[in-house]
Structure 1
Amino acid sequence: MGLGKLLHHHEEHADAGGTIDRPRAYEIFGSIAFLGGRRAAFTRVAAAARPRAGDRVLDVGCGTGYLSRIMAPVVMPGGHVTGLDPSPAMIAYATRHAPAHCTYLVGEGQHLPFPDGSFDLVVSSLAVHHMPAAARPEALRQMFRVLRPGGRLLLAEFRPPANPAARHLVGALSGPAMRHDPRDLLGTFIPDAGFEVEAEGNLPYLLYYVRAIRP
Protein backbone atom coordinates (compact mmCIF):
# COMPACT_ATOMS: atom_id res chain seq x y z
CA MET A 1 0.00 0.00 0.00
CA GLY A 2 1.44 3.35 -1.03
CA LEU A 3 1.26 6.48 1.10
CA GLY A 4 -1.65 7.82 -0.93
CA LYS A 5 -3.66 4.66 -0.33
CA LEU A 6 -2.71 4.69 3.35
CA LEU A 7 -4.08 8.23 3.69
CA HIS A 8 -7.23 7.21 1.82
CA HIS A 9 -7.63 4.32 4.25
CA HIS A 10 -7.55 6.82 7.15
CA GLU A 11 -10.28 8.80 5.39
CA GLU A 12 -12.51 5.79 4.82
CA HIS A 13 -12.82 4.41 8.33
CA ALA A 14 -13.33 7.71 10.22
CA ASP A 15 -15.85 7.00 13.02
CA ALA A 16 -16.59 3.49 11.77
CA GLY A 17 -13.19 2.27 12.98
CA GLY A 18 -10.64 0.24 11.10
CA THR A 19 -7.13 -1.15 11.07
CA ILE A 20 -3.93 -0.21 9.29
CA ASP A 21 -2.37 -3.31 7.78
CA ARG A 22 0.79 -2.05 6.06
CA PRO A 23 3.35 -1.50 8.82
CA ARG A 24 6.27 -0.48 6.58
CA ALA A 25 4.16 2.15 4.80
CA TYR A 26 2.93 3.34 8.19
CA GLU A 27 6.49 3.71 9.46
CA ILE A 28 7.41 5.81 6.42
CA PHE A 29 4.27 7.90 6.82
CA GLY A 30 5.07 8.44 10.50
CA SER A 31 8.54 9.71 9.72
CA ILE A 32 7.20 12.12 7.11
CA ALA A 33 4.22 13.30 9.18
CA PHE A 34 6.43 14.31 12.12
CA LEU A 35 8.95 16.06 9.85
CA GLY A 36 11.84 14.03 11.22
CA GLY A 37 10.74 14.58 14.82
CA ARG A 38 8.86 11.35 15.40
CA ARG A 39 11.19 10.05 18.12
CA ALA A 40 11.17 13.41 19.89
CA ALA A 41 7.36 13.50 19.73
CA PHE A 42 6.88 10.01 21.16
CA THR A 43 9.58 10.55 23.76
CA ARG A 44 7.48 13.46 25.03
CA VAL A 45 4.38 11.21 25.06
CA ALA A 46 6.31 8.59 27.03
CA ALA A 47 7.55 11.21 29.49
CA ALA A 48 3.99 12.49 30.00
CA ALA A 49 2.96 8.94 30.97
CA ARG A 50 5.58 8.94 33.76
CA PRO A 51 6.63 5.27 33.51
CA ARG A 52 8.65 3.89 36.40
CA ALA A 53 11.04 0.98 36.87
CA GLY A 54 9.09 -2.21 37.52
CA ASP A 55 5.89 -0.99 35.85
CA ARG A 56 3.66 -3.39 33.98
CA VAL A 57 2.60 -1.32 30.96
CA LEU A 58 -0.14 -1.91 28.39
CA ASP A 59 0.02 -0.04 25.06
CA VAL A 60 -3.47 -0.14 23.50
CA GLY A 61 -3.44 0.31 19.73
CA CYS A 62 0.34 -0.13 19.72
CA GLY A 63 0.66 -0.31 15.94
CA THR A 64 4.26 -1.12 15.02
CA GLY A 65 5.32 -0.92 18.67
CA TYR A 66 7.11 2.43 18.30
CA LEU A 67 5.99 3.95 21.62
CA SER A 68 6.37 0.69 23.54
CA ARG A 69 9.99 0.34 22.36
CA ILE A 70 10.72 3.84 23.67
CA MET A 71 9.12 3.03 27.03
CA ALA A 72 10.66 -0.43 27.45
CA PRO A 73 14.10 0.63 28.79
CA VAL A 74 12.48 3.03 31.28
CA VAL A 75 10.53 0.28 33.07
CA MET A 76 13.61 -1.84 33.60
CA PRO A 77 14.64 -3.48 35.80
CA GLY A 78 11.66 -5.64 36.52
CA GLY A 79 9.08 -4.07 34.22
CA HIS A 80 7.32 -5.33 31.14
CA VAL A 81 5.48 -3.72 28.22
CA THR A 82 2.58 -5.46 26.46
CA GLY A 83 1.35 -4.08 23.15
CA LEU A 84 -2.13 -4.78 21.77
CA ASP A 85 -3.40 -3.99 18.27
CA PRO A 86 -6.25 -5.36 16.10
CA SER A 87 -3.98 -5.70 13.04
CA PRO A 88 -2.07 -9.00 12.78
CA ALA A 89 0.37 -7.35 10.36
CA MET A 90 1.20 -4.62 12.87
CA ILE A 91 1.65 -7.15 15.68
CA ALA A 92 3.91 -9.30 13.49
CA TYR A 93 6.07 -6.26 12.72
CA ALA A 94 6.19 -5.19 16.38
CA THR A 95 7.11 -8.70 17.49
CA ARG A 96 10.00 -8.87 15.02
CA HIS A 97 11.40 -5.64 16.46
CA ALA A 98 10.55 -6.31 20.12
CA PRO A 99 13.06 -5.95 22.97
CA ALA A 100 13.26 -8.96 25.26
CA HIS A 101 10.82 -7.51 27.83
CA CYS A 102 8.08 -6.55 25.34
CA THR A 103 5.31 -8.81 24.07
CA TYR A 104 2.63 -8.09 21.48
CA LEU A 105 -0.86 -9.53 21.06
CA VAL A 106 -3.68 -9.17 18.54
CA GLY A 107 -6.75 -7.67 20.19
CA GLU A 108 -9.12 -4.71 20.47
CA GLY A 109 -9.27 -1.97 23.06
CA GLN A 110 -12.95 -2.63 23.77
CA HIS A 111 -12.21 -6.32 24.49
CA LEU A 112 -8.98 -6.34 26.51
CA PRO A 113 -7.98 -9.99 27.13
CA PHE A 114 -6.43 -9.42 30.56
CA PRO A 115 -7.54 -9.97 34.17
CA ASP A 116 -8.60 -7.09 36.38
CA GLY A 117 -5.74 -5.06 37.84
CA SER A 118 -3.08 -6.49 35.53
CA PHE A 119 -1.21 -3.25 34.82
CA ASP A 120 0.33 -0.24 36.52
CA LEU A 121 0.11 1.98 33.44
CA VAL A 122 -2.04 1.97 30.30
CA VAL A 123 -1.05 4.15 27.36
CA SER A 124 -2.73 4.71 24.01
CA SER A 125 -1.30 7.03 21.37
CA LEU A 126 -3.05 8.07 18.15
CA ALA A 127 -5.34 5.06 18.48
CA VAL A 128 -8.71 6.25 19.82
CA HIS A 129 -9.67 7.83 16.50
CA HIS A 130 -9.18 4.41 14.85
CA MET A 131 -11.72 2.78 17.16
CA PRO A 132 -15.39 2.66 16.13
CA ALA A 133 -17.07 5.64 17.80
CA ALA A 134 -19.59 3.39 19.56
CA ALA A 135 -16.76 1.28 21.04
CA ARG A 136 -14.75 4.13 22.58
CA PRO A 137 -16.62 4.33 25.93
CA GLU A 138 -16.21 0.57 26.45
CA ALA A 139 -12.52 0.79 25.55
CA LEU A 140 -12.02 3.34 28.36
CA ARG A 141 -13.96 1.14 30.78
CA GLN A 142 -11.73 -1.78 29.83
CA MET A 143 -8.60 0.30 30.42
CA PHE A 144 -9.95 1.19 33.86
CA ARG A 145 -10.68 -2.47 34.61
CA VAL A 146 -7.20 -3.77 33.76
CA LEU A 147 -5.43 -1.10 35.83
CA ARG A 148 -4.67 -1.71 39.49
CA PRO A 149 -6.01 0.86 41.98
CA GLY A 150 -3.69 3.84 41.76
CA GLY A 151 -2.71 2.88 38.22
CA ARG A 152 -2.24 5.54 35.56
CA LEU A 153 -3.69 6.21 32.12
CA LEU A 154 -2.13 8.29 29.35
CA LEU A 155 -3.99 9.02 26.11
CA ALA A 156 -2.41 11.05 23.32
CA GLU A 157 -4.16 12.20 20.16
CA PHE A 158 -3.61 14.60 17.29
CA ARG A 159 -4.74 18.19 17.72
CA PRO A 160 -5.50 20.39 14.71
CA PRO A 161 -3.39 23.50 14.06
CA ALA A 162 -4.82 26.74 15.44
CA ASN A 163 -4.49 28.53 12.10
CA PRO A 164 -7.61 27.82 9.97
CA ALA A 165 -5.65 27.61 6.70
CA ALA A 166 -3.10 25.24 8.22
CA ARG A 167 -5.91 23.19 9.77
CA HIS A 168 -7.59 22.83 6.37
CA LEU A 169 -4.33 21.79 4.71
CA VAL A 170 -3.42 19.25 7.38
CA GLY A 171 -6.95 17.82 7.33
CA ALA A 172 -6.82 17.42 3.57
CA LEU A 173 -3.56 15.50 3.83
CA SER A 174 -4.33 13.37 6.87
CA GLY A 175 -8.07 12.75 6.72
CA PRO A 176 -10.43 12.89 9.72
CA ALA A 177 -7.76 12.03 12.29
CA MET A 178 -6.68 15.66 12.51
CA ARG A 179 -9.95 17.43 11.72
CA HIS A 180 -11.35 17.02 15.22
CA ASP A 181 -10.56 18.69 18.50
CA PRO A 182 -9.16 15.82 20.62
CA ARG A 183 -11.24 17.01 23.58
CA ASP A 184 -14.35 16.39 21.46
CA LEU A 185 -13.00 13.01 20.33
CA LEU A 186 -12.38 11.85 23.90
CA GLY A 187 -15.50 13.56 25.21
CA THR A 188 -16.27 12.63 28.81
CA PHE A 189 -15.19 9.01 28.31
CA ILE A 190 -12.27 9.25 30.73
CA PRO A 191 -14.13 10.50 33.84
CA ASP A 192 -17.23 8.50 32.87
CA ALA A 193 -15.12 5.33 33.01
CA GLY A 194 -14.17 6.18 36.61
CA PHE A 195 -10.82 7.90 36.12
CA GLU A 196 -9.70 11.07 37.85
CA VAL A 197 -8.03 13.39 35.35
CA GLU A 198 -4.66 14.52 36.70
CA ALA A 199 -3.30 16.62 33.84
CA GLU A 200 -3.95 17.48 30.21
CA GLY A 201 -2.48 19.77 27.62
CA ASN A 202 -0.65 20.23 24.37
CA LEU A 203 2.60 18.58 23.38
CA PRO A 204 4.87 19.50 20.46
CA TYR A 205 4.16 18.14 16.97
CA LEU A 206 0.41 18.80 17.15
CA LEU A 207 -0.25 16.34 19.97
CA TYR A 208 -2.59 16.57 22.95
CA TYR A 209 -2.52 14.37 26.05
CA VAL A 210 -4.66 13.44 29.04
CA ARG A 211 -3.15 11.75 32.08
CA ALA A 212 -5.52 10.19 34.61
CA ILE A 213 -5.50 7.90 37.63
CA ARG A 214 -7.67 5.00 38.65
CA PRO A 215 -8.68 5.79 42.26
Structure 2
Amino acid sequence: MSWRSTGHTNSELINNLSRNGLLTSRALAAAMLATDRAHFCPHAPYADAPQRIGYDATISAPHMHVYALEALLPYITGERRGKVGEKEGRGVRVLDVGCGSGYLLAVIGHLLPPGGKVIGIEHIPQLTSLATSNLRRSPATAAMLSDGRIQAVTADGRQGYAPEAPYDAIHVGAAADGWGVVDTLVNQLGRGGRLFIPVCDGDGGEGEGGGTAGQWVWEVDKDEEGKVTKKKSHGVMYVPLTDRKEFS
Protein backbone atom coordinates (compact mmCIF):
# COMPACT_ATOMS: atom_id res chain seq x y z
CA MET A 1 0.00 0.00 0.00
CA SER A 2 2.91 2.38 0.62
CA TRP A 3 3.70 3.03 -3.03
CA ARG A 4 0.10 4.14 -3.57
CA SER A 5 0.64 6.96 -1.08
CA THR A 6 2.85 8.97 -3.43
CA GLY A 7 1.44 12.42 -4.14
CA HIS A 8 2.11 15.51 -6.23
CA THR A 9 2.14 17.84 -3.21
CA ASN A 10 2.97 17.51 0.48
CA SER A 11 -0.71 17.59 1.46
CA GLU A 12 -1.58 14.94 -1.11
CA LEU A 13 1.18 12.69 0.22
CA ILE A 14 -0.06 13.07 3.80
CA ASN A 15 -3.68 12.54 2.78
CA ASN A 16 -2.75 9.39 0.87
CA LEU A 17 -0.81 8.01 3.83
CA SER A 18 -3.90 8.57 5.96
CA ARG A 19 -6.33 7.18 3.40
CA ASN A 20 -4.26 4.01 3.05
CA GLY A 21 -4.29 3.43 6.80
CA LEU A 22 -0.56 4.03 7.24
CA LEU A 23 -0.95 7.32 9.14
CA THR A 24 -3.52 7.15 11.93
CA SER A 25 -2.57 9.98 14.31
CA ARG A 26 -4.18 13.37 13.70
CA ALA A 27 -1.43 15.09 15.65
CA LEU A 28 1.27 13.48 13.51
CA ALA A 29 -0.64 14.26 10.32
CA ALA A 30 -0.82 17.93 11.35
CA ALA A 31 2.92 18.01 12.12
CA MET A 32 3.74 16.45 8.74
CA LEU A 33 1.42 18.86 6.93
CA ALA A 34 3.30 21.71 8.63
CA THR A 35 6.63 20.29 7.39
CA ASP A 36 7.09 20.52 3.62
CA ARG A 37 9.14 17.47 2.68
CA ALA A 38 10.49 19.38 -0.34
CA HIS A 39 12.58 21.47 2.06
CA PHE A 40 14.47 18.32 3.07
CA CYS A 41 14.39 16.05 0.03
CA PRO A 42 15.90 17.42 -3.22
CA HIS A 43 14.51 14.73 -5.51
CA ALA A 44 10.93 13.38 -5.73
CA PRO A 45 10.02 14.73 -2.26
CA TYR A 46 6.42 13.51 -2.35
CA ALA A 47 7.18 9.96 -3.48
CA ASP A 48 6.66 7.34 -0.81
CA ALA A 49 10.15 5.94 -1.30
CA PRO A 50 13.60 6.59 0.15
CA GLN A 51 15.67 9.23 -1.67
CA ARG A 52 19.36 10.13 -1.71
CA ILE A 53 20.35 13.38 -0.01
CA GLY A 54 24.09 13.27 -0.70
CA TYR A 55 27.14 12.10 1.28
CA ASP A 56 26.10 8.44 0.93
CA ALA A 57 22.99 9.17 2.99
CA THR A 58 19.27 8.80 2.30
CA ILE A 59 16.01 10.15 3.65
CA SER A 60 13.65 7.30 4.52
CA ALA A 61 10.34 6.74 2.77
CA PRO A 62 7.49 8.75 4.32
CA HIS A 63 5.65 5.63 5.46
CA MET A 64 8.74 4.54 7.41
CA HIS A 65 8.87 7.93 9.09
CA VAL A 66 5.21 7.51 9.99
CA TYR A 67 5.84 4.05 11.42
CA ALA A 68 8.72 5.29 13.57
CA LEU A 69 6.98 8.43 14.80
CA GLU A 70 3.71 6.69 15.66
CA ALA A 71 5.72 4.19 17.73
CA LEU A 72 7.36 7.08 19.60
CA LEU A 73 4.49 9.58 19.56
CA PRO A 74 3.29 9.42 23.21
CA TYR A 75 6.90 9.72 24.37
CA ILE A 76 7.56 12.74 22.13
CA THR A 77 4.39 14.55 23.17
CA GLY A 78 4.96 13.84 26.86
CA GLU A 79 1.90 11.64 27.33
CA ARG A 80 4.16 8.82 28.54
CA ARG A 81 6.63 10.87 30.55
CA GLY A 82 8.56 8.94 33.15
CA LYS A 83 8.48 10.02 36.79
CA VAL A 84 12.20 10.80 36.69
CA GLY A 85 11.77 13.41 33.97
CA GLU A 86 8.78 14.93 35.75
CA LYS A 87 10.63 15.03 39.07
CA GLU A 88 13.59 16.80 37.47
CA GLY A 89 11.18 19.43 36.20
CA ARG A 90 12.68 19.58 32.75
CA GLY A 91 10.94 19.30 29.41
CA VAL A 92 10.70 16.29 27.12
CA ARG A 93 13.99 15.33 25.48
CA VAL A 94 14.16 13.51 22.14
CA LEU A 95 17.29 12.26 20.36
CA ASP A 96 17.37 11.64 16.59
CA VAL A 97 20.46 9.64 15.62
CA GLY A 98 21.28 10.07 11.95
CA CYS A 99 19.16 13.16 11.44
CA GLY A 100 20.19 13.47 7.79
CA SER A 101 18.60 16.45 6.07
CA GLY A 102 16.63 17.39 9.19
CA TYR A 103 13.13 16.29 8.22
CA LEU A 104 12.30 14.39 11.40
CA LEU A 105 13.75 17.18 13.52
CA ALA A 106 11.16 19.49 11.98
CA VAL A 107 8.25 17.09 12.43
CA ILE A 108 9.25 16.28 16.02
CA GLY A 109 9.66 19.98 16.72
CA HIS A 110 6.00 20.51 15.82
CA LEU A 111 4.99 17.67 18.16
CA LEU A 112 6.94 18.70 21.26
CA PRO A 113 5.09 20.04 24.31
CA PRO A 114 6.21 23.37 25.85
CA GLY A 115 9.74 23.12 27.20
CA GLY A 116 10.61 20.16 24.97
CA LYS A 117 13.75 19.77 22.89
CA VAL A 118 14.93 17.50 20.07
CA ILE A 119 18.61 16.94 19.32
CA GLY A 120 19.74 15.58 15.97
CA ILE A 121 23.15 13.94 15.51
CA GLU A 122 25.15 13.46 12.32
CA HIS A 123 28.76 12.36 12.07
CA ILE A 124 29.17 14.11 8.70
CA PRO A 125 29.56 17.87 9.25
CA GLN A 126 28.10 18.68 5.84
CA LEU A 127 24.88 16.91 6.76
CA THR A 128 24.65 18.78 10.04
CA SER A 129 24.99 22.02 8.07
CA LEU A 130 22.46 20.82 5.50
CA ALA A 131 19.91 19.96 8.20
CA THR A 132 20.35 23.37 9.83
CA SER A 133 20.03 25.16 6.49
CA ASN A 134 16.90 23.19 5.60
CA LEU A 135 15.30 23.92 8.97
CA ARG A 136 15.79 27.63 8.37
CA ARG A 137 13.65 27.46 5.22
CA SER A 138 10.48 27.53 7.32
CA PRO A 139 9.81 30.40 9.75
CA ALA A 140 8.37 27.96 12.30
CA THR A 141 11.39 25.65 12.45
CA ALA A 142 13.81 28.57 12.09
CA ALA A 143 12.28 29.90 15.31
CA MET A 144 12.73 26.49 16.96
CA LEU A 145 16.42 26.56 16.07
CA SER A 146 16.75 30.04 17.49
CA ASP A 147 15.09 29.26 20.81
CA GLY A 148 16.78 25.87 21.25
CA ARG A 149 13.82 23.56 20.75
CA ILE A 150 15.77 22.01 17.85
CA GLN A 151 19.52 21.45 17.89
CA ALA A 152 21.71 19.69 15.31
CA VAL A 153 25.17 18.54 16.37
CA THR A 154 28.09 16.79 14.71
CA ALA A 155 29.05 13.73 16.74
CA ASP A 156 29.20 9.94 16.65
CA GLY A 157 25.55 9.00 17.08
CA ARG A 158 26.51 5.49 18.08
CA GLN A 159 27.65 7.05 21.36
CA GLY A 160 24.39 8.94 21.81
CA TYR A 161 24.59 12.47 23.17
CA ALA A 162 25.19 12.47 26.90
CA PRO A 163 24.89 16.25 27.55
CA GLU A 164 21.09 16.14 27.09
CA ALA A 165 20.41 12.66 28.51
CA PRO A 166 18.22 11.09 29.75
CA TYR A 167 15.84 10.99 26.79
CA ASP A 168 12.13 10.29 26.70
CA ALA A 169 12.43 9.03 23.11
CA ILE A 170 15.36 8.03 20.91
CA HIS A 171 14.97 7.46 17.17
CA VAL A 172 17.76 5.89 15.12
CA GLY A 173 17.54 6.37 11.35
CA ALA A 174 20.27 3.91 10.34
CA ALA A 175 20.97 0.28 11.15
CA ALA A 176 23.17 -0.64 14.11
CA ASP A 177 25.64 -3.47 13.56
CA GLY A 178 24.83 -5.59 16.59
CA TRP A 179 23.73 -4.77 20.12
CA GLY A 180 26.60 -2.64 21.40
CA VAL A 181 25.05 0.56 20.06
CA VAL A 182 21.67 -0.44 21.48
CA ASP A 183 23.14 -0.88 24.96
CA THR A 184 24.87 2.51 24.78
CA LEU A 185 21.67 4.28 23.78
CA VAL A 186 19.58 2.42 26.36
CA ASN A 187 21.93 3.79 29.02
CA GLN A 188 20.88 7.30 27.91
CA LEU A 189 17.17 6.43 27.82
CA GLY A 190 15.15 7.81 30.68
CA ARG A 191 12.90 5.67 32.84
CA GLY A 192 9.56 5.44 31.08
CA GLY A 193 11.24 6.07 27.70
CA ARG A 194 11.40 4.25 24.36
CA LEU A 195 14.15 3.60 21.79
CA PHE A 196 13.28 2.87 18.14
CA ILE A 197 16.22 1.29 16.31
CA PRO A 198 16.90 -0.96 13.31
CA VAL A 199 19.49 -3.63 14.13
CA CYS A 200 21.56 -5.89 11.88
CA ASP A 201 21.16 -9.16 13.73
CA GLY A 202 21.76 -11.53 10.84
CA ASP A 203 18.32 -13.04 11.15
CA GLY A 204 17.40 -12.50 7.50
CA GLY A 205 14.35 -10.26 7.73
CA GLU A 206 12.46 -9.13 4.67
CA GLY A 207 13.70 -5.65 3.88
CA GLU A 208 11.60 -2.59 3.12
CA GLY A 209 12.63 -2.81 -0.54
CA GLY A 210 12.34 -6.61 -0.72
CA GLY A 211 15.03 -9.26 -0.34
CA THR A 212 16.89 -10.43 2.73
CA ALA A 213 18.15 -7.52 4.78
CA GLY A 214 19.19 -9.13 8.07
CA GLN A 215 17.81 -6.00 9.73
CA TRP A 216 14.90 -5.74 12.11
CA VAL A 217 13.27 -2.82 13.86
CA TRP A 218 13.32 -3.10 17.64
CA GLU A 219 11.33 -1.05 20.12
CA VAL A 220 13.19 -0.98 23.42
CA ASP A 221 11.36 0.28 26.52
CA LYS A 222 12.71 1.17 29.94
CA ASP A 223 10.10 1.09 32.70
CA GLU A 224 9.92 3.24 35.85
CA GLU A 225 12.09 0.77 37.76
CA GLY A 226 14.73 0.73 35.02
CA LYS A 227 13.79 -2.69 33.62
CA VAL A 228 14.44 -2.95 29.88
CA THR A 229 12.23 -4.91 27.49
CA LYS A 230 12.82 -5.41 23.76
CA LYS A 231 10.15 -5.96 21.13
CA LYS A 232 11.12 -7.17 17.65
CA SER A 233 8.96 -5.75 14.88
CA HIS A 234 9.56 -6.24 11.15
CA GLY A 235 12.36 -6.55 8.62
CA VAL A 236 13.72 -3.39 7.06
CA MET A 237 16.62 -2.23 4.88
CA TYR A 238 18.30 0.90 6.24
CA VAL A 239 21.73 2.31 5.46
CA PRO A 240 24.18 1.33 8.22
CA LEU A 241 25.45 3.48 11.05
CA THR A 242 29.01 4.24 10.01
CA ASP A 243 32.23 5.90 11.07
CA ARG A 244 32.76 9.57 10.26
CA LYS A 245 33.79 10.14 6.65
CA GLU A 246 35.53 13.10 5.11
CA PHE A 247 33.91 14.61 2.03
CA SER A 248 35.53 17.29 -0.06
Q: TM-score range by the shorter chain?
A: 0.5 to 0.7
When the two structures are superposed, what TM-score results if normalisation uses the length of structure 1? 0.57
Residue 179 of structure 2 aligns to a residue whose secondary structure is: helix
Long gaps (5+) in structure 2: 1-38, 52-59, 79-90, 136-140, 200-204, 222-226, 239-248
Equivalent residue letter for 1:49: L
What is the deviation of 1:44? 3.1
Aligned to 1:68: 105
Q: How many residues of Structure 1 are paired with residues of Structure 2 in the alignment? A: 157
Aligned to 2:160: 112
Aligned to 2:189: 147
What is the deviation of 1:137? 2.9
Alignment of 1:163-202 (within 5 A): 167=210, 179-183=212-216, 195-198=228-231, 200-201=233-234
When the two structures are superposed, what TM-score results if normalisation uses the length of structure 2? 0.51
Structure showing greater relative contact order (alpha-carbon pairs closer than 8 Å, 6 or more residues apart): 1
Cα distance in structure 2, aligned partners of 1:31 and 1:86: 27
Q: Which has the larger radius of gyration?
A: 2
Cα distance in structure 2, aligned partners of 1:114 and 1:30: 33
Cα distance in structure 2, aligned partners of 1:40 and 1:26: 15
Residues 159, 103 of structure 1: alpha-carbon distance in 2 compared, 3 angstrom cutoff:
farther
Native 8 Å contact 2:40 2:102 kept in 1: no
Aligned to 2:68: 45
Aligned to 2:49: 34
Moved over 3 A (4+): 24-27, 29-33, 35-41, 156-159
Aligned to 1:160: 207
What is the deviation of 1:198? 4.6
Q: Per-residue displacement from partner, 1:30-89 (whole Å, max 9, x unpaired)?
A: 765718994444133211212214421000111111222112111132211100011111
CA RMSD for the aligned pairs?
3.9
Cα distance in structure 2, aligned partners of 1:91 and 1:25: 12
Cα distance in structure 2, aligned partners of 1:116 and 1:84: 12
Decide which structure has greater helix share.
Answer: 1
1:102 is the counterpart of 2:150: yes
